[in-house]
């Protein structure tokens, strides 16, 4: 299992992303962290280059819907639709379904316990 | 007996007594309020003479919408403003830039040109209201716009009181709104400090923030240590530029959190004031008592609030307000109970303001200066916090100093490590959070989410982009181009860039154009990815 934890868009808050990255690493998952302010196109390219199974997007600015859509479009355009996408951050309840309809595998809104996130990655089959 | 340890790692005894203060000199270490080293506060009578300023952080949508919210809070007794800008503005991107998609007017108000700043402060007299601007990488041009609006309103320069955050070092450590590499970013910080000290003597051209670093995960002692290290780096930079310390240090201000355990927070600020006073007087040779004073905003810290049972956050806010009052805050701001979900609603903003007013008027916390002084526990803890802060300052020195630590990413990695340790304490229950890891109710999670939500209006971006296009069409394009080209030229020299930026702003050059005019010379920061 290899995961790209990525920060798309302009939001500079990386506490959540790094905490999840640490927790996954401690759980034996191979983790790559993108750094801040990556464009969806850069994230798609890095995911393909690193050959990851899952991308975890962290968005705290409210721009999660357009950013997620662009990452998914990019993956499909590059024939990498098999890479799964999960999204975490300040995702209001009303947007959770919208993200799932777009093709996101799982949404972790604020308040999600860390063990629940780790469990998802342990159970998902690459 | 239950083991208790503070966020700074200090163990707490079940009882304290005179033996815990043995060997200390109260006259030297504690002193009097309003006197060096200001352990007990920077004013003799503290809130009996002047209450803390109440300054809620606000900004969303277009400048006109934000202007309406400013006026709403001022009508309810808020006496100063604290402006939130959207991310494109904070990063120097125009609202029509493709990278701004989905972000325009989201986490703050959008500013593209001077025309927007004029709308934001329409009907608000800038010679009477103090305004803090939460802007860092773009502090120089945004503050230039603010000065230009004040000038247009006819406000005298020596009546303008503004506090641009202008603390880029903490942006590299936490919060992330950096644009240029570290060195040219620091130059811009210095240009704004120098320009403001000379032309706008009542402005506070830098607000050094431990706040965001704490929010990113560091401990209380690290928050104070990193803030002090950053302040010292700016003082050194201004001295190297040839300014005398007493010509700028009196206008340095601070921005810290107060959300932790009440007595730990009070001890953190009491120790911090003492250390800062000694730093300025002994290391930098400041002679003016105003240079020695740690003037600070103490704010909430949204990370203290929970998404579970959000109404409980109103209670948490009241304890934060009490901690801030007992810590000697000059200015107070609270997060709102709905902040874990959304941009604060007007109702939630009003509750936060009322919380501070109740603390001020009803609780008695403002009746006498430093009411915790002389408590065996708080005085002993103040001494222990001082030692911890000094240890953390020594750790920063081992990383090569704060500027080097930011460049290598060593300090970012330490903050992330602490965030992970904190999260593990939440998971294990060692750090109790009611309705999260203890006293968890049986209310279904969905019921928690019925807080009234601020609904983001996607047409905000359309309105903002239309406004930007109109300004571009109507301005004297040649004047704007000439000013931008002067700015690029001067960025290549060592000149103070503020006069060139002021000229560009007044010619209605856009923020994106101004940012780019400097980026051509400075380049972009490349983040050291260490975690």
**DSSP structure string for B143-175:** HHHHHHHHHHHT--GGG--EEE---HHHHHHTT
Q: Do B423 and A23 touch (CB under 8 A)?
A: yes
What pLDDT is attached to residue B444?
Answer: 58
Residue with tokens 């040219």: B184
Q: Cis link prior to A66 (omega < 30° from 0)? A: no
* Closest residue in B to A67 (Cα–Cα): B102
Residue-wise pLDDT tens digits, B211-238: 999 999 999 999 999 999 999 999 999 9
* Radius of gyration of chain A, Cα coordinates, nearest whole angstrom: 13
Domain with residue A108: its CATH number is 3.40.50.280
Preferred mutation among A7, A14, A17 to probe B, highest tally of B CBs within 10 A: A14
Is residue B419 a part of any domain in this protein? no
**Domain-located, residue B460:** no
Tell me which of A6, A13, A19 to substitute to probe the interface with B (most B C-beta atoms closer than 10 Å).
A19
Residue A52: helix, strand or coil by DSSP?
Answer: coil
Each residue of A58-71: pLDDT tens digit? 999 889 999 999 99
- Reference B258, options B7, B4, B3, B5; nearest CA is B7
ipTM exceeding cut-off 0.90 for this assembly: yes
What pLDDT does B447 receive? 44
Closest CA relative to residue B506, chosen from B488, B471, B480? B480
| Total domains present in chain A | 1
* Tens digits of residue pLDDT in B318-330: 999 999 999 999 9
| pLDDT < 50 positions in chain B | 447-448
| Structural domains of chain B, count | 1
Asked if residues B271 and B385 have their Cβ atoms less than 8 Å apart, the reply is: yes
- Facing residue for B175 by CB, picked from A13, A22, A110: A13
Element (H, E) at B245: helix B245-248
**Torsion sign over Cα B239, B244, B247, B252:** positive
Where b means 16+ CB within 10 Å and e means fewer, B382-396 reads bbbbbebbeebbebb
Q: Rounded to an integer, what distance in angstroms lies between the CA atom of residue B396 and that of residue B223?
A: 12
Q: Do B171 and A109 touch (CB under 8 A)?
A: no
Distance (Å, whole) CA B466 – CA B471: 9
Provide φ and ψ at B352, rounded to 5°.
Answer: -65, -45
Query: Maximum Cα–Cα distance for chain A, whole Å?
Result: 34
Measure in Å the smallest separation between the Cα of B411 and chain A Cα atoms: 13
What local confidence, expressed as pLDDT, does residue B406 receive? 98
Which residues of chain B have a CB within 8 Å of the CB of A50? none
Euclidean distance between CA atoms A85 and A121, whole angstroms = 11
Q: Per the domain annotation, does B267 fall within a domain? A: yes
A6 pLDDT above the threshold of 60: yes
Chain A residue numbers touching B177 (CB-CB < 8 A): 12
Q: How many CA within 13 A on the CB side of residue B502? A: 16
Is cis: bond before B153, omega within 30 of 0?
Answer: no
Q: Which residue matches tokens 């951050």?
A: A89
CA B199/CA B277 separation, integer angstroms: 26
pLDDT at position B301 is 81
**Partner-chain residue, chosen from B177, B340, B423, that has the shortest CB–CB distance to A110:** B340
The whole-angstrom separation of Cα B38 and Cα B51 is 18
**H-assigned helices in chain A:** 15-26, 40-50, 64-77, 93-102, 114-123
Closest Cα in chain A, distance from residue B266 (Å): 25
Cα B263 from Cα B252, distance rounded (Å): 26
Cβ atoms A69, A39 nearer than 8 A:
no
Residue B420 belongs to what H/E stretch?
A: helix B410-428
Residue range A106-115, pLDDT digits in tens: 999 988 999 9
Q: Which tokens hold the place of B227? A: 């803030």
Strand partners, B257: B299
Please give the structure tokens belonging to residue B134: 């939460």
In a mutational test of the B interface, the residue from A27, A50, A60, A62 whose CB has the highest number of chain B CBs within 10 Å is A62
Beta bridge partners of A38: A8
pTM of the entire predicted model? 0.96
Whether B163 is in a domain gets the answer: yes
In angstroms, rounded to a whole number, what is the distance separating the alpha carbons of residues B228 and B277? 11
Do A39 and B91 count as a contact with CB atoms less than 8 A apart?
no
**Whole domain around residue A119: which residue ranges?**
2-123
Indicate if the alpha-carbon torsion angle A88, A92, A96, A101 is positive or negative: negative
Distance, in angstroms, between A97 CA and closest chain B CA?
Answer: 14
CATH of residue B213: 3.20.20.240
Pairwise CA distance, residues B316 & B324, whole Å? 12
Domain range for B324: 18-404
Q: pLDDT value at position B345?
A: 84
């Amino acid at each position: 299992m290899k995961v790209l934890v990525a920060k798309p868009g302009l939001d500079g808050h990386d506490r959540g992303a790094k905490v999840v990255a640490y927790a996954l690493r401690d759980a034996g998952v191979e983790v790559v962290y993108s750094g801040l302010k990556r464009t969806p196109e850069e994230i798609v390219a890095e995911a393909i280059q690193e050959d990851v199974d899952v991308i975890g997007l962290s968005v705290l600015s409210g721009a999660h819907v357009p950013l997620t859509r662009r990452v998914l479009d990019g993956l499909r355009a590059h024939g990498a639709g098999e890479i799964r996408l999960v999204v975490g951050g300040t995702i209001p309840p009303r947007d959770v379904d919208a993200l799932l309809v777009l093709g996101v595998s799982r949404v972790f809104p604020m308040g999600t316990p860390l063990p629940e996130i780790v469990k998802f990655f342990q159970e998902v089959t690459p | 007996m239950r083991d208790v340890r503070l966020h700074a790692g200090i163990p707490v005894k079940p009882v304290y007594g005179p033996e815990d203060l043995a060997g200390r000199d109260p006259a030297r270490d504690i002193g009097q309020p309003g006197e060096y080293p200001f352990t007990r506060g920077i004013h003799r009578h503290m809130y009996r003479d002047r209450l803390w300023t109440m300054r809620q952080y606000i900004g969303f949508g277009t400048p006109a919408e934000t202007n309406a919210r400013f006026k709403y809070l001022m009508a309810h007794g808020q006496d100063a403003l604290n402006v939130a800008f959207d991310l494109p503005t904070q990063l120097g991107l125009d609202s029509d830039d493709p990278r701004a998609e989905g972000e325009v007017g989201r986490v703050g108000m959008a500013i593209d040109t001077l025309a927007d700043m004029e709308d934001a402060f329409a009907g608000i007299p800038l010679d009477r209201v103090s305004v803090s601007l939460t802007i860092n990488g773009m502090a120089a041009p945004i503050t230039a716009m603010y000065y230009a609006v004040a000038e247009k309103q006819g406000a005298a320069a020596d009546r303008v009181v503004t506090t641009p955050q202008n603390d880029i070092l903490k942006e590299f450590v936490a919060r992330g709104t950096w644009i240029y590499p570290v060195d040219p970013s620091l130059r811009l910080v210095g240009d704004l400090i120098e320009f403001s000290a000379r032309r706008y003597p009542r402005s506070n051209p830098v607000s050094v923030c431990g706040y965001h670093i704490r929010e990113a995960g560091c401990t209380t002692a690290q928050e104070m240590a990193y803030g002090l290290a950053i302040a010292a780096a700016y003082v050194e930079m201004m001295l190297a530029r040839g300014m005398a310390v007493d010509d700028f240090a009196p206008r340095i201000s601070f921005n810290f959190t107060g959300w932790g355990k009440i007595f730990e927070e009070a001890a953190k600020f009491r120790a911090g004031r003492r250390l800062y006073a000694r730093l300025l007087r002994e290391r930098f040779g400041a002679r003016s008592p105003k240079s020695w004073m740690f003037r600070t905003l103490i704010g909430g810290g949204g990370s203290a609030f929970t998404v579970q049972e959000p109404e409980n956050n109103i209670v948490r806010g009241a304890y934060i307000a009490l901690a801030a009052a007992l810590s000697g805050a000059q200015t107070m701001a609270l997060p709102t109970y709905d902040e874990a979900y959304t941009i604060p609603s007007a109702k939630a903003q009003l509750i936060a303001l009322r919380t501070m007013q109740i603390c001020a008027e009803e609780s008695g916390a403002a009746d006498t200066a430093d009411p915790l002084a002389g408590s065996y526990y708080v005085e002993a803890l103040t001494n222990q916090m001082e030692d911890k802060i000094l240890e953390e300052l020594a750790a920063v020195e081992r990383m090569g100093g704060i500027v080097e630590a930011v460049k290598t990413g060593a300090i970012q990695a330490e903050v992330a490590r602490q965030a992970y340790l904190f999260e593990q304490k939440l998971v294990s229950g060692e750090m109790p959070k009611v309705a999260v890891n203890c006293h968890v109710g049986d209310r279904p999670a969905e019921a928690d989410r019925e807080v009234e939500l601020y609904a983001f209006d996607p047409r905000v971006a359309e309105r903002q982009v239309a406004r930007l296009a109109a300004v571009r069409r109507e301005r004297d394009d040649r004047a704007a181009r000439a000013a931008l080209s002067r700015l690029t030229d001067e960025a290549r020299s060592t000149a103070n860039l503020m006069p060139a930026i002021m000229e560009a702003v007044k010619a209605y050059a856009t923020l994106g154009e101004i940012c780019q005019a400097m980026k051509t010379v400075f380049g972009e920061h490349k983040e050291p990815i260490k975690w």
